[in-house]
Amino acid sequence: MIRERFAPSPTGLLHLGHAYSALMAWDAVRANNGKFLLRIEDIDLPRCKPEFEQAIYQDLEWLGLSWPTPVMRQSMRLAAYDSALQKLIDLGLCYPCKCTRKDIAQAMSAPQEGVDVGPDGPIYPQTCKGRPMSEYSATDAIRLDMEKAVSTIKGHLSYTEIGGVYPETIRVKPETLVSYCGDIVLARKDMGTSYHLSVVVDDADQNITHVTRGQDLASATPIHRQLQALLNLSTPTYRHHKLIRDENGKRLAKRDDARAIRSYRENGVTPQGIREMVGLGLNLIQ
Ligand code: GLU
């Protein structure tokens, strides 16, 4: 049985891109007699708002989706992230980092566009690499030593991608992880976890078999695959879909309220109309 999840962050109103992800996952579940789960990714507490969480439930219901309750909320799962983090610390793969964004920018020598920027932004210049965990203080972030992490893995890592025309096996290249992703943050100082760590722990705990999400997150998937291997977690099949763009080719952002599902709804667009706008056409599976 397939299990899909839609995992929005309540930091703004859902827009057409979210509708596309959620409906695509929903359709796959309906066609395969599977299960659709909702997960609220609210670890970034200062940016998350209860009214956006309520709007997520309302907009998805209006689109015709349903899910089991209670929904998983990341803010309630800090203990699970902490124990995963502790495993990585015990493997000797982590170090505390006291750099601010400004420190990182200053340590980087004239970054060129497209060269020093990975899925999390600028590649960390490893200023704090090698600091022992015994020096950790509450104002530090915790990073993964990617070189050590990849050298721990025996054999090749891969995952299945079904977002293209044909299913593909994607090999995770250790050298790409080191040079393109670098020493990613596992625990931000303000939240004790990070998107990458929480997402792999939650997908495994929810027994997710298929992850449907935008192409913008495809570059983070090798990081997720690496963490799954280190933590002995299951690897779902990934479907990264094209991004919904505005008429100028710019990808939609949460700030773009004109493209919010809610705005279309208020202007008389039907759920079927939203399907057509994102190119999912008729939903023949009822
Ligand atoms: N919470 C993420 C977002 O809203 C999605 C994460 C995922 O699907 O892996 O962009």
For residue 21, which atom of ligand 1 is closest to its CA?
Answer: 8
Q: Are residues 224 and 83 in the same domain?
A: yes
Report the pocket of ligand 1 as residue ranges, CB < 6 Å: 7-9, 41, 199, 213, 217
Q: Which two tokens stand for residue 120?
A: 């999390």
Q: Are residues 98 and 237 in the same domain?
A: yes
Residue 96 has a pLDDT of 98
Give the residue, 121 or 135, on which the prediction is more confident: 135
The residue whose C-alpha atom lies closest to atom 10 belonging to ligand 1 is 8
Q: How many domains does the chain have?
A: 2
Q: Is the pLDDT of residue 112 over 60?
A: no
Q: Are residues 49 and 137 in the same domain?
A: no
Residue 4 in any domain: the answer is yes
CATH number of the domain residue 84 falls in: 3.40.50.620
Q: Are residues 108 and 53 in the same domain?
A: no
Residue 118 has a pLDDT of 85
Chain position carrying tokens 């793969």: 93
To test the pocket of ligand 1, the residue of 14, 41, 254 to mutate (highest count of ligand atoms within 8 Å of its CB) is: 41
pLDDT band for 247, please (50, 70, 90 cuts). Answer: confident
Residue 286 has a pLDDT of 47
Residue 250 has a pLDDT of 83
Q: What is the pLDDT of residues 2-27, one digit of tens each?
A: 999 999 999 999 999 999 999 999 99
Residue 133 in any domain: the answer is yes
Domain with 16 in it: 1-76+256-286
Q: Are residues 210 and 261 in the same domain?
A: no
Q: Are residues 217 and 275 in the same domain?
A: no
Q: What is the pLDDT of residues 152-197, one digit of tens each?
A: 999 999 999 999 999 999 999 999 999 999 999 999 998 999 999 9
Give percent of the chain with pLDDT exceeding 70.
Answer: 95
Q: Are residues 158 and 214 in the same domain?
A: yes
Residue 199 C-alpha to ligand 1 middle, in angstroms?
8
Residue 179 in any domain: the answer is yes
Residue 28 in any domain: the answer is yes
Residue 251 in any domain: the answer is no
Residue 9 C-alpha to ligand 1 middle, in angstroms?
7
For residue 214, which atom of ligand 1 is closest to its CA?
Answer: 8
Residue 31 has a pLDDT of 95
Q: Are residues 147 and 229 in the same domain?
A: yes
Q: Are residues 17 and 122 in the same domain?
A: no
Q: Are residues 12 and 83 in the same domain?
A: no
From the CB of residue 214, how many other CB atoms can be counted at a distance below 10 Å?
Answer: 18
Q: What is the pLDDT of residues 128-149, one digit of tens each?
A: 999 999 999 999 999 999 999 9
| SS3 letters across the chain | CCEEEECCCCCCCCEHHHHHHHHHHHHHHHHHCCEEEEEECCCCHHHCCHHHHHHHHHHHHHHCCCCCCCCEEHHHCHHHHHHHHHHHHHCCCEEEECCCHHHHHHHCCCCCCCCCEECCEECCCCCCCCCCHHHCCCCCEEEECHHHHHHHCCCCEEEEECCCCCCEEEEECHHHHHHHHCCCEEECCCCCCCHHHHHHHHHHHCCCCEEEEEHHHHHHHHHHHHHHHHHCCCCCEEEEECCCECCCCCECCCCCHHHEHHHHHHCCCCHHHHHHHCCCCCCCCC
Residue 247 in any domain: the answer is no
Q: Are residues 178 and 237 in the same domain?
A: yes
**Pairing state between β 237-241 and 210-214:** parallel
Residue 278 C-alpha to ligand 1 middle, in angstroms?
18
Q: Are residues 82 and 216 in the same domain?
A: yes
